[in-house]
Structure 1
Amino acid sequence: MSETKPGVTLNPELLLHPEAARISLPATFQIDEIRPVRGHTRPHLTAPTLGVLSHFTGTFAGTGFNMIFRPNSAAPTTTTFPNPVSPTPPTPPSENVLELNLTKETLAFSPALGSVPNRGLEAQNDIFLNGVPYVQTISDVTNPDTGKGDGNPIGIHFEPGLWMHIPATTTTPDLATSLVRMASIPHGTTINAQCLEPAGSFNGPPTIPPVSITPFVINSNPPNLITFASQTATNNATPRIPQDLTKFIAAGTINQAILNDPNTVLRNAIAGQTITKTIVFTVSTAPAAPEFGGGTDNIAFLLGNASGGAANANAVKMAATFWIETVEHKIVIPPFKPGQPPLKIPAPAAHPEQFRPVFEVTPPHEIAKAITITVHSTQIQYSQVVLLNFAGLTWPHVSVATLVPSDTQTVPPSAWP
């Protein structure tokens, strides 16, 4: 293996076949209602639609960026740094560490659950949900110096959860078709984030807006922003991991533009790609009207006291925007004779470190001379902001990633001339 950029170790086999967390459900498992008598039928003879969630199929993998201001205690467990920082021990409002992670991620979806019955009361009839369980794993690949020192990635996030599709109702509540993401976070937080289902796709690539990492005074409106020295990429004497960003700035993997706006990583990832369609939606634990419900729940340690007023790190809100993109690729098919084993051809990479899908190719006829065909794959991008309250401030915790299918893709008959 060779390292061409800080935090990005390239291995073609890993790029094409990354390790992935897997969901294991019994092969015949499907949720459905219990019938009053054997043979009882109801109008819902087939599983409800998944809507936009039908794109969440199989396993995706890719790279991204994560940043979090984490509490820094004055107890013996205080984080230490190669370069001296001031003050030591930390005093308000300097009692934080800005951790920056270049990440490798897998997002694995299971088959759809089936018909999940939710019973209505009185005038509200029953509804049937459908959805997909998922497992998300994220590892830090920034630098051996910020890990265990053995060069191996360190796991920084594990998330089991469910994406569910909720049909429209007109009684209780009167609400259009919606989506919900329900997840559990190992640090002690559970989330229920919702939104109305998007009306459809639009042609072309997404327009990805900026996102800020700057903390602000809790409940200030407009936000009373408090900027820290650790947000300056060239300052090497601040409570930050990694503390010295010189080589990352040179490589363009962590620089001032990315600290100012982590969504820069998403825009960089799709530069040079041909994206023909995009679906976008934002789920939130405090969804916009007319959607309602949702929220976060935290363990006692995170809240600090019963009111959350002495929080170690109270996760008060999460919002995540997802872009589901159709990416067009041109792949070259070498000479081929019927009867040969199928070919496995990776899509061209717009960037050397980029994960890309692999296509299984079985030409329907002999290819005497290399030809180029057009194929498509699904790509998932997301930008997630969790708001953490501690030390009198609200601290944005931003995670972004670009994910492509890690399962081999099939070339459809329509792709052949």
Structure 2
Amino acid sequence: MADETPLRAKISLPVDFRIDEVKQIVGAAPTPTPPLGVLENFTGEFAGTGFNTVFRPNGAPPTTTTFANPIPPPPILTPPNENVLELNLTTETLSFSASLGSVPNRGLGMPLAVNGNAQEDIFLNGVPYVQAISDVTNPATGKGDGKAQGIHFEPGIWLNVPATKHVPALANSLVRMASIPHGTTINAQGPAPTTVINGPPNIPSVNITPFVIGSNPPELITFASQTAANKDTPRIPQDLTKFIASGAINQAILTDPNTVLRNAIAGQTITKTIVFTVSTTPSPPEFGGGTANIAFLEGNAAGTSANASSVRMNATFWVETVEHLIHIPVFKPGEGPLRIPAKPGTQGPVFTGTPPREIPAPITIKVTSTQIQYSQVVFLNFAGLTWPHVSVATLTPAGDVPIPVSAWP
């Protein structure tokens, strides 16, 4: 019988590949591998589900999006229907490679000395990754059980950058460098986390409402497609009746997509959370980073006729330690390893291991797994407005999680 397990996006480095500085002295000792910090949690493969919202331009004929329910003309002084709000229930795989090693970045030295102190070399370490996201929205059921259609692919690298003393004088930071097929690359930075939350995260709200480009405070422009009950707006899916009934997409989720993240962890026992944010426009004293777009996205050299130019990206990640109680059946020495899902019948980690002794009667043991949640906002400029493009997901280990020896009674 053919293996029907769905394929996942994977990444791997050549065997024994490790970056290190090129040394002049033959036989010189290799540079110690720099720490990864919180990126140590980014290992192996993760998979899960999420939600994506994106306002996109509605192209000229023949590619104009058409709808089953006719779109009424907008009243006077309200925005025209030049956009389509696309909503996606998603599945996702996130695959991490082995770390890169010791990546040398050379300080210029005395020409940029500050108070007589020259900038030394620094050594980075990082984790390459591949992310693949598919739309599984099913209007027939109002759930995320439809045929998978790829909507996002992203190769990239996470980097841990050590603190520097002089040029620049910055604390330890994290960097995410990525490329996407629409023609955008990002370099997002932010401070490395310095504290651990002893418990679950406090996930703030996020708003998808567009606003006038450059307005401060933002001049919000709300569209009829943002009201879940409306059935005749330029939105995909146009009619959300079944999604509202199932709870997969409702008004609370449209108003604040991070509701999906909070719903995902309701009832979980989360004992530890590490949170960090990276941005293409990081807050001072951090600086650097940015986005780059192909000409089609920018529209013209001035960026005043953009088709959908990515001008900024912010992403917050919550790395959580989730505690599970798993039930161990009767076991006799010599039997094969056990494979026990954390929550039978649902997506999530599967724990595997061989008890060190006979288990004469079923028992319950306590184990933990790593969970990654994220909320990302890409700000797209077109038609005089900045349009927040929000993506959220909850990801758990896709491979088996070993049961530690300490968990057995």
Question: Which bin holds the TM-score, normalised by the shorter protein?
Answer: over 0.9
1:290 is displaced (CA, Å) by 1.1
For residues 28 and 99 of structure 1, the distance between their equivalents in structure 2, rounded to whole angstroms, comes to 43
Asked if structure 2 preserves the Cα contact closer than 8 Å seen for 1:229 and 1:235, the reply is yes
For residues 71 and 30 of structure 1, the distance between their equivalents in structure 2, rounded to whole angstroms, comes to 44
Q: Is 1:306 aligned to residue 321 of structure 2?
A: no
Equivalences for residues 16-415 of structure 1 within 5 A:
19-41=7-29, 44=31, 46-87=32-73, 93-122=80-109, 123-143=118-138, 152-348=147-343, 354-415=346-407
For residues 358 and 312 of structure 1, the distance between their equivalents in structure 2, rounded to whole angstroms, comes to 44
**Structure 2 residue identity aligned to 1:367:** I
Render the CA deviation track for 1:77-118: whole Å, top value 9, x for unaligned.
100111111339xx9532000000000000000000001000
**Structure 2 residue identity aligned to 1:64:** G
For residues 136 and 223 of structure 2, the distance between their equivalents in structure 1, rounded to whole angstroms, comes to 25
For residues 70 and 254 of structure 2, the distance between their equivalents in structure 1, rounded to whole angstroms, comes to 22
Normalised TM-score (structure 1): 0.91
For residues 74 and 367 of structure 1, the distance between their equivalents in structure 2, rounded to whole angstroms, comes to 68
1:152 is displaced (CA, Å) by 2.4
Instruction: Please say which of residues 91-100 and 279-288 is displaced more in the overlay.
Output: 91-100
For residues 216 and 397 of structure 2, the distance between their equivalents in structure 1, rounded to whole angstroms, comes to 41
For residues 151 and 195 of structure 1, the distance between their equivalents in structure 2, rounded to whole angstroms, comes to 36
Normalised TM-score (structure 2): 0.93
1:75 is displaced (CA, Å) by 2.6
SS of aligned partner of 1:290: coil
**Structure 1 residue identity aligned to 2:349:** P
For residues 355 and 318 of structure 1, the distance between their equivalents in structure 2, rounded to whole angstroms, comes to 29
For residues 19 and 142 of structure 1, the distance between their equivalents in structure 2, rounded to whole angstroms, comes to 19
Q: Sort the Cα spacing of 1:144 and 1:250 in 2 relative to 1 into closer, same or farther, 3 A.
A: closer
**Structure 1 residue identity aligned to 2:199:** G
RMSD: 1.8
Render the CA deviation track for 1:171-205: whole Å, top value 9, x for unaligned.
11101111000000110000000001010311000
Asked if structure 2 preserves the Cα contact closer than 8 Å seen for 1:113 and 1:131, the reply is yes
For residues 120 and 278 of structure 2, the distance between their equivalents in structure 1, rounded to whole angstroms, comes to 26
Asked if structure 2 preserves the Cα contact closer than 8 Å seen for 1:93 and 1:391, the reply is no
For residues 189 and 92 of structure 1, the distance between their equivalents in structure 2, rounded to whole angstroms, comes to 27
For residues 416 and 76 of structure 1, the distance between their equivalents in structure 2, rounded to whole angstroms, comes to 64
Asked if structure 2 preserves the Cα contact closer than 8 Å seen for 1:331 and 1:372, the reply is yes
For residues 63 and 305 of structure 1, the distance between their equivalents in structure 2, rounded to whole angstroms, comes to 37
Render the CA deviation track for 1:328-368: whole Å, top value 9, x for unaligned.
0000000001111101000026xx6x521000021010000
**Structure 1 residue identity aligned to 2:48:** G
Asked if structure 1 preserves the Cα contact closer than 8 Å seen for 2:139 and 2:243, the reply is no
Asked if structure 2 preserves the Cα contact closer than 8 Å seen for 1:18 and 1:61, the reply is no
For residues 343 and 138 of structure 1, the distance between their equivalents in structure 2, rounded to whole angstroms, comes to 31
For residues 244 and 281 of structure 1, the distance between their equivalents in structure 2, rounded to whole angstroms, comes to 36
**Structure 1 residue identity aligned to 2:125:** N
1:19 is displaced (CA, Å) by 3.2
Render the CA deviation track for 1:12-61: whole Å, top value 9, x for unaligned.
x99xx75321113211111111110211236x3x2110011000000000
Asked if structure 2 preserves the Cα contact closer than 8 Å seen for 1:279 and 1:324, the reply is yes
For residues 146 and 322 of structure 2, the distance between their equivalents in structure 1, rounded to whole angstroms, comes to 33
Asked if structure 1 preserves the Cα contact closer than 8 Å seen for 2:309 and 2:381, the reply is yes
Asked if structure 1 preserves the Cα contact closer than 8 Å seen for 2:12 and 2:98, the reply is no
For residues 192 and 396 of structure 2, the distance between their equivalents in structure 1, rounded to whole angstroms, comes to 22
Instruction: Please say which of residues 111-120 and 70-79 is displaced more in the overlay.
Output: 70-79
SS of aligned partner of 1:174: coil
Asked if structure 1 preserves the Cα contact closer than 8 Å seen for 2:69 and 2:231, the reply is yes
For residues 140 and 233 of structure 2, the distance between their equivalents in structure 1, rounded to whole angstroms, comes to 17
Runs of 4+ in structure 1 off by over 2 angstroms are none
Structure 2 unaligned segments of length 5 or more: list them.
110-117
Asked if structure 1 preserves the Cα contact closer than 8 Å seen for 2:342 and 2:351, the reply is yes
For residues 195 and 283 of structure 2, the distance between their equivalents in structure 1, rounded to whole angstroms, comes to 19
Render the CA deviation track for 1:373-412: whole Å, top value 9, x for unaligned.
0000000000000000000000000000000001110011
1:267 is displaced (CA, Å) by 0.2
SS of aligned partner of 2:304: coil
SS of aligned partner of 2:233: coil
For residues 344 and 190 of structure 1, the distance between their equivalents in structure 2, rounded to whole angstroms, comes to 40
